[in-house]
Amino acid sequence: KTANRMVSMALIEKEAKKIYKQYYKATHKDGALDRKTKELIALGVSAATGCQGCLKGHLRKSLHMGITLDEIREAIAIAAGVAAATLIDATDIANAELGIVTDDGDD
């Protein structure tokens, strides 16, 4: 452990921390998806969910694994598109609640 490492799990009960670490290790090894693909997914999800500590960690890990900046950009761009879709869903809900019906032909 390094002195500047975040201690984000310092207040987590030991058994829960152990289970989480086992889960993380099991899900990030090669399987149906290779580790690189899994890391890019983790990076994109971290960006989309706004988990800053996760994003920093996955950026470092991605670079350490040899993932290129272009691959990182693409993963984040996909995540941004998915995150933006939540705003579109919110406008659909607002339109329905307000009784607004539009058909502007942009589909």
Q: What is the domain-level CATH number for residue 64? A: 1.20.1290.10
Segments forming the whole domain that contains residue 41? 35-98
Opening angle at CA 63, ends 37 and 39, nearest 5: 25
pLDDT at 2: 45
Tell me the C-alpha distance between 48 and 39, whole Å. 14
Q: Quick count: other Cβ atoms within 10 Å of Cβ 45?
A: 17
pTM > 0.85: yes or no: no
- Calculate mean pLDDT across residues 69-78: 97
pLDDT at 106: 62
- How many domains is the chain partitioned into structurally? 1
Biggest alpha carbon–alpha carbon distance for the chain: 57
Question: What tokens appear for 78 in the block?
Answer: 């996909």
Band of residue 3 on the pLDDT scale cut at 50, 70, 90: very low
How big is the chain by its Cα radius of gyration, in Å? 19
Structure confidence by residue, pLDDT tens digits, 23-32: 999 999 999 9
Domain assignment present for residue 44? The answer is yes
